[in-house]
Structure 1
Amino acid sequence: GILDDNEFFDVLMTYAKAGPDDICIRITATNHGPKAAPLHVLPTIWLRNTWSWGVDDRVTELHEIRRNGRPPRGYRAAEVTHGFLGRYVVVAAGSPTTLFCDNETNAKHLFGDAAPANHSLYPKDAINQRVVHGRTKATNPGGYGSKCSFWYRFDAVEPGETVTVDLRLATGDPSPSWFGDDFEQQLTTRAYEADEFYEHVVDPSLGAEDRHVARRAYAGLLWGKQLYRYDVRQWLDGDPVGHRAPESRKKGRNEHWRHLALADVISMPDEWEYPWFAAWDLAFHCLPLAHVDPEFAKEQLLLMCREWAMAPNGQLPAYEWEFGDVNPPVHAWAAWHVYRIDGYRDREFLVRVFTKLLLNFAWWVNRKDEGGSNLFEGGFLGMDNIGLFNRSAPLPPGFRLEQSDATSWMAFYCQQMLKIALELARTDKAWDDVATKFLEHFLAIAQAMRHFGSSDKSLWHEEDGFYYDVLVQPDGSAPHMRVRSMVGLLPILGATEIPSWVVEECPDVTSRFTWLQERRPELVKPMLARPDGKMLLTLVPPKRLRRILQRMFDTEEFLSPFGIRSLSAAQRQAVTARVGNETVSIEYEPGESRTGMFGGNSNWRGPVWFPVNVLLADKLRTYGRYFGDSFTVEVPTGSGNWCTLDQAADVIDGGLTALFRPVDGRRPSDGKRIESSPDPLWSDHPTFSEYFDGDTGEGLGATHQTGWTALVAHLLNPRLPPDPRTMGWG
């Protein structure tokens, strides 16, 4: 293939800030091939085209800086004038050829004689025409425009040779002194400071390989920050000038999200393969981000709740190809953990995010509980093809799917809101009755999961010892969809501790619970209490938890060497069902998807996914803090090795981190790809895949989705600031 014999250049970009408006840039390119090869390097600066659409007439311009009509000695430079950003200069060391054109579409090429009369003579593909096709008149000879490249030509770079290009972006007046000793010192100092910073962030007790992986994960997250600009109203209506948008667009996707107008820096799942946010991905990004930049992590969580993002009815935007889809409600969980990682200090953040999530919780209750039974039909819920059928599409008339995972997610959401409300009530008793509301709502959801409807059907299947979706049919029957998947494990997430201090510090919650014990004893079954006053709210009773964990830690079902599979390996034989006139099926697929559902480029029918694994381990620790040594589970099932729930959680986390720990010199996540080469050129650069093969651990999907897979840094870095209060959480 293209990488055979290492016939390529490896390009490294280094940025170092010399000041708030002064960035040193170094580009190094190394020929790793066996023979000399030519190389063209074209650092490019361009101004975003805001002037062609009839909505922005601010002045923007790039022009070449000359001295007495000549290029300056020792460097080339372009001055940037922008109506909003002000003045900058970009300076390139040496004597590259400067190429200028306009950042405008080549209308003549696209539309021929129909091109507008005022089209640019030097459109944005002019630099390509000049460099690739040798058309010397393609670029602007006057040395100005809105796009500029500095053209460095290296006729023959020898094998193993490295060439270097230096640039600087700043606001001052350029001179040769911008390079040389000061430039080198800035690069050296910033590199030292970065190393020093990460020595404090990454646990020094970790081995060198783990520290390397953690730092790469953090770097990938920070590199994935991107300006995300999307004004839905403007997109639907089209621009005031130019070609008119078709009328059909006004009824196209996201037509109900006209309020959404984002122009914010957002952490992307992957700036290359997934350059758009997904609400639940973003929530998971914020945990590792909080270790390196807690303020940015908090800003990200708040952004999804702002008026220009959250719908007026309280729904969070899912992702740009359908903002109205439903992602799992993990925002409150992420907000709590960011608050915790930041040392339990920023109560203002907690209040701000909590008050907005009250709206979102109300949206869930009002829109996703169709029957008013406290059971939820969430639809897509992030796990693309995990079900027998497309859960975003409507079922045939008369059918209704009571989703085990949707109801589990809502119980989980309810508990996270309860936890935040209790924390806020410690210093402001106005939140006490809000905590009571979430306590009662959780108890109602838990009761509904035990029994619902006229048939008194439970989502729990006693014979199988597992939770399943239930398909309510037109004749009133409600069979279980007996597919053992992550859907049936998610009830484990419905667990949270109630610390002993609540009795003294939250009297309204305490008195209401006492009232419920006396008047509604059937409701309080999900609440367990220890003699020391500590309590546990749990969706899954201990006997059921033991049976679920027996399956979850069975290597023939869910437990892989690298975490918990999304579908039981016992489903290697396809499970089929009939819904209306359609027969549907599902089977274990540990690697790439064999179905076209949701584009076929992700797979929840067997692979290991970081986000749900991290949640499962987190909740096992919640159970473990309550039960201590009194509750043990066999891991793996049938092995005779009995573990506490804390230790069982460590098994899950250990499987996830094992993906990045070399075995015989190779990381399991690299599979048989070129990244598995022992050559440091590859082995020093781990990739963070979207998901992982349920049998082998090979990384699949987007290979650079550092996003939620960067949770590995959070797992490798468990050191957290202690709760400063005498009686805290956990």
Structure 2
Amino acid sequence: MNPEQERLNTNALKEVPLEKWGPYLSERQWATVREDYSANGDAWSYFPHDHARSRVYRWGEDGLGGISDARQNLCFALALWNGKDPILKERLFGLTNSEGNHGEDVKELYYYLDNVPTHAYMKFLYQYPQEAFPYEKLIEENRSRTRKQHEYELLDTGVFDNNRYFDVFVEYAKNNAEDVCIQIEVWNRGDTNATIWVLPTLWFRNRWAYGDLTQKPLIQAQGDGCVRASHEFLEDYFFYFQSAKASLFTENETNIERIFGATNHSPFVKDAFHEAICEGNEELYRLLKNNQQGTKFAPIYELSIEPKSSQKIMLRLSNTENVDPFNHSFSQIFSDRRQETEEFYQRYAPSEKYQSDSQSADKELQGSRTSDLKNIQRQVFAGLLWSKQYYHYDIERWLEGDPNQIAPPDERFLGRNAEWTHLKNQDVMSMSDTWEYPWYAAWDLAFHCLPMAMLDPTFAKNQLILITREWFMSPNGQIPAYEWNFSDVNPPVHAWSALSIYRIEKTLHGKEDLNFLKRIFQKLLINFTWWANREDENGNNIFTGGFLGLDNIGVIDRDNLPLNSHLEQVDATAWMAMYALNMMDIALEIARHDPGFEDVATKFYEHFVLIAESLNKGLWDTEESFFYDLLYTQGGKITPMKVRSIVGLSALFAVSIIDQKKMADLPDFKKRISYIRDYRTKANKFLPSEQMAEDGNILLSLVNRTMLTKLLQVMLDENEFLSVGGIRALSKYYEKNPYSVNVQEVDYSINYMPAESDSGMFGGNSNWRGPVWMPVNYLIIKSLKKYYQFYGDSFKVEFPTGSGKMMNLNEVSGELANRIVGIFQRNEAGDRPVHGAYQEFYKRPDNKDLLLFYEYFDGDTARGVGASHQTGWTAVVAELINEDIWEKETELPLK
């Protein structure tokens, strides 16, 4: 067995199946909600980037390519200086919500190159300009641009021209769980000598200021090349470093003089290294150099690097004293972990498939494409694993404040998240993104867990269980949405995610974890009840929910409807139908081993039937053959929102097949659904099912065969939804024909926007009015495969619509998957659609394999848009890359 798999198997047996050391240190803690103690809730302004180097955080830490223990007591990360910047590069810079022409946005070049689930091996790359970092230029230019213009990116500033930059690689290789070898390699990519200062920094998170510790931790010198780190919640650790120009100690304490204008009690403050090095304060430099202890420490390496050359720095963090930390075994540890990583990922990689009569040139091309796909998949997994982050947020304590600290303003008791006083999060979570979204989001997390289940099903299962635990889920049954507003409503995809995780683990790892299904099922029963009671305003099985994670997709802001109105939503209703089906499927799976779940399976079948009837009778437009929301305004007026968007296509997601063979062991369930079918047939009521005569299997779906044909004709039309990169969120039809509607004497309109948003709705940095979004495309791809399992070759559609080329739904599913994967693939010209206008930079020899996994993708060109590192839900592409895996991860064999 591969050593990494052995480590995972050992981890799975732990009470808390989590490695002590990992990439749990976020790239941004500043401007997060949990660090916001303002009266008006403006987190971006309260704790900006300019404060981050000087001001102590309350709830976490951040760093560059760093690691920490699982409770983030002790942290390690890079700090860099090119000799020209006004500050050290300790953390990632980006624009706040008010500074970007499309909202907040990270303005750095960094890449997650490798990682394994136990973090026994990790690799990170940061690209650092040799000229001064253009902080002000990025802010000024983006502020001056309109929402109609593209964002001004770091590559637009010219600081990377002529290869005048450093590639800074940091690698971690564990000798064991408590002994981490660290190697930093800095490449000068330019044509002239260049100097860089590297400060590998070790520090303690400041918990002593808030009364969390009985004594202050300490980092102290232990002689040449070693310091000891002591903390009451950790055993002692020794940090070894090669001979350096100097070693500096300071304290992780706020520079109150710089931030608040008061007098510092000591020169040893959080940003002392910045002042001593970047500002050239020689007196302070001597103080820091002569100091022998503190809570923040860094050796200084001044590297003069020749053109196209590199230099390395070796470090080690261990719980044992080692007289020779950098002997021959140091390099061997890296060699072993790299080899184990290669072996571990081999099982997930796509295989090379050649036709027997292919020419050698074709084989060479195919081999190159397969190698490229392996590289894409590997970096997807790396980004997913690097995004496992420590998350600490105790809302009751956040509202009330800490002892010996200034009391928070009274306004916060009526403000954001004030009703979530039970929420006490202190866990390692799968984050959407470590800069733009350095917090968990409920429906994002459900998608993260699928590719995570391929690698580490134990962690994936525990993530879903975690957000339904009593310190996460509200007592009323609501799952917390995301940090900016836990009370917002995200699509209820967690039952679907749980079932998918169960099937992935069964397919890839040979384990049927029924205990997991039982545990998550019980909690989701509570959540389903919350939905049924809170979001079905009229008790008619038509649901609301507001934006539902789709931000600005509606012609009217669905979170701010006109006065005295309510919206009956297709997507909310479809999500609930899907939820009911998923809960039924989970209950049926458990019932095969525990008959006590048979009754509740019937209950969810009935729920689905009633929801399906309401959706079809109330929200299906028979003239236009599409699902539309209905807006109810004062006086009983009903206005259809006739916009063709992913909202109407969401009805495709709720689909399941009841296996006749399984029903044979569930007589009560079989009897009950037969009765319902017979009754509804005789009463001429809507019946959301079809039965195949030859095998007796039953298809449950929100759409019948005719409706499915109509929806797919529109969805697969390149003038509507089908794009080069997948299915758009809004029909391209509205590019030339904007839709408008008048409600209560106010005109509202919507038009197709393939990339960035042209409004400030939801911060302006998220757009569902045209781009391709990975999660909904993934659901479409999987749903089509399920329809194919039932219909087989008896159901074919044109792909694309109007082409005359007929395909079955399995082939259509595959074609859509290929378009999604194609966003990241290198074509014959060496271009990747994801890189958009920056192909030249990414075609340079050193950059040709570098990838970014964005939040969403341009509906016309497939270039990356939004958060540049949202590998969270974009990571589902890792499964689509290997067709063998995602075809096997199904409940029934394909036709």
Q: CA deviation at 1:727?
A: 8.1
Structure 1 residue aligned with 2:389: 226
Residues 523-580 of structure 1, C-alpha deviations (whole Å, 9 max, x = no match): 5611211122200111111111101100000011001111100000011121111222
Asked if the contact 1:404/1:491 (under 8 Å) is kept, the reply is yes
CA distance in 2, matches of 1:442, 1:368: 16
Q: CA deviation at 1:364?
A: 0.6
Gap runs ≥5 in structure 1: 67-71, 452-457
Residue 81 in structure 1 maps to residue 230 in structure 2 = yes
Q: Select the residue among 625, 633, 645 that pairs with 1:465.
A: 625
Structure 2 residue aligned with 1:667: 832
Structure 1 residue aligned with 2:408: 245
CA distance in 2, matches of 1:499, 1:132: 68
CA distance in 1, matches of 2:217, 2:636: 66
Q: Select the residue among 540, 552, 555 that pairs with 2:718.
A: 555
Q: How does 1:360-379 map to 2 (within 5 A)?
A: 360-379=527-546
Asked if the contact 1:674/1:682 (under 8 Å) is kept, the reply is no
Asked if the contact 1:325/1:392 (under 8 Å) is kept, the reply is no
Asked if the contact 1:106/1:120 (under 8 Å) is kept, the reply is no
CA distance in 2, matches of 1:515, 1:602: 47
Q: CA deviation at 1:649?
A: 1.0
Q: Select the residue among 386, 396, 410 that pairs with 2:576.
A: 410
CA distance in 1, matches of 2:763, 2:436: 14
- Secondary structure in 2 matching 1:680: coil
Residue 604 in structure 1 maps to residue 768 in structure 2 = yes
Residue 109 in structure 1 maps to residue 258 in structure 2 = yes
Residue 678 in structure 1 maps to residue 843 in structure 2 = yes
Structure 1 residue aligned with 2:793: 629
Q: CA deviation at 1:203?
A: 3.0
Q: How does 1:170-189 map to 2 (within 5 A)?
A: 170-175=318-323, 177-189=324-336
Identical residues among aligned pairs (%): 43
Counterpart of 2:545 in structure 1: which amino acid? Answer: G
CA distance in 1, matches of 2:473, 2:305: 53
> Which range is displaced more, 357-366 or 717-726?
717-726
Asked if the contact 2:880/2:886 (under 8 Å) is kept, the reply is no
Structure 1 residue aligned with 2:4: none
Residue 448 in structure 1 maps to residue 614 in structure 2 = yes
Q: How does 1:115-264 map to 2 (within 5 A)?
A: 115=263, 119-138=265-284, 139-140=287-288, 141-154=290-303, 156-175=304-323, 177-205=324-352, 207-264=370-427
Asked if the contact 2:680/2:687 (under 8 Å) is kept, the reply is no
CA distance in 1, matches of 2:891, 2:665: 13
Structure 2 residue aligned with 1:713: 878
Asked if the contact 1:516/1:524 (under 8 Å) is kept, the reply is no
* Residues 518 and 201 (structure 1), Cα distance of their counterparts in 2 relative to 1, 3 Å cut: closer
Structure 2 residue aligned with 1:384: 551
Q: How does 1:261-276 map to 2 (within 5 A)?
A: 261-276=424-439
Q: TM-score, normalised by structure 1?
A: 0.94
- Secondary structure in 1 matching 2:208: coil
* Residues 25 and 318 (structure 1), Cα distance of their counterparts in 2 relative to 1, 3 Å cut: same
> Which range is displaced more, 637-646 or 498-507?
498-507
CA distance in 2, matches of 1:527, 1:235: 50
Asked if the contact 1:202/1:211 (under 8 Å) is kept, the reply is yes
Asked if the contact 2:206/2:253 (under 8 Å) is kept, the reply is yes
Asked if the contact 1:443/1:523 (under 8 Å) is kept, the reply is no
* Residues 490 and 725 (structure 1), Cα distance of their counterparts in 2 relative to 1, 3 Å cut: closer
CA distance in 1, matches of 2:714, 2:442: 31
Q: Which runs of 4+ in 1 moved over 6 A?
A: 721-730
Asked if the contact 1:31/1:159 (under 8 Å) is kept, the reply is yes
- Secondary structure in 2 matching 1:595: coil
Q: CA deviation at 1:614?
A: 0.5
Structure 2 residue aligned with 1:454: none
Asked if the contact 1:468/1:481 (under 8 Å) is kept, the reply is yes
> Which range is displaced more, 343-352 or 217-226?
343-352
Asked if the contact 2:248/2:291 (under 8 Å) is kept, the reply is no
CA distance in 2, matches of 1:502, 1:372: 33
Q: Select the residue among 179, 182, 186 that pairs with 1:25.
A: 182
Counterpart of 2:704 in structure 1: which amino acid? Answer: P
CA distance in 2, matches of 1:315, 1:719: 37
Residues 633-681 of structure 1, C-alpha deviations (whole Å, 9 max, x = no match): 1111111111111111112111101111222211111111257632132
Q: How does 1:252-651 map to 2 (within 5 A)?
A: 252-343=415-506, 345-397=512-564, 399-451=565-617, 458-521=618-681, 522=684, 525-531=687-693, 532-572=695-735, 573-651=737-815
CA distance in 1, matches of 2:891, 2:562: 53
Counterpart of 1:651 in structure 2: which amino acid? Answer: E
Structure 1 residue aligned with 2:196: 39
Asked if the contact 2:616/2:702 (under 8 Å) is kept, the reply is no
CA distance in 2, matches of 1:192, 1:450: 55
CA distance in 2, matches of 1:168, 1:316: 41
Residues 427-467 of structure 1, C-alpha deviations (whole Å, 9 max, x = no match): 0001000100000000000111122xxxxxx3111121111
Q: How many residues align?
A: 710
- Secondary structure in 2 matching 1:226: strand
CA distance in 2, matches of 1:568, 1:676: 32
> Which range is displaced more, 285-294 or 104-113?
104-113
Q: CA deviation at 1:96?
A: 4.0
- Secondary structure in 2 matching 1:682: coil
Structure 2 residue aligned with 1:15: 172
Counterpart of 2:274 in structure 1: which amino acid? Answer: N
Residues 349-368 of structure 1, C-alpha deviations (whole Å, 9 max, x = no match): 11111111111111110100
CA distance in 1, matches of 2:496, 2:349: 23
CA distance in 1, matches of 2:887, 2:718: 36
Asked if the contact 1:666/1:676 (under 8 Å) is kept, the reply is no
- Secondary structure in 2 matching 1:672: helix
Counterpart of 1:18 in structure 2: which amino acid? Answer: N
Gap runs ≥5 in structure 2: 1-157, 354-369
CA distance in 2, matches of 1:510, 1:12: 60
- Secondary structure in 2 matching 1:681: coil
Q: CA deviation at 1:251?
A: 1.6
CA distance in 1, matches of 2:890, 2:758: 52
> Which range is displaced more, 159-168 or 498-507?
498-507
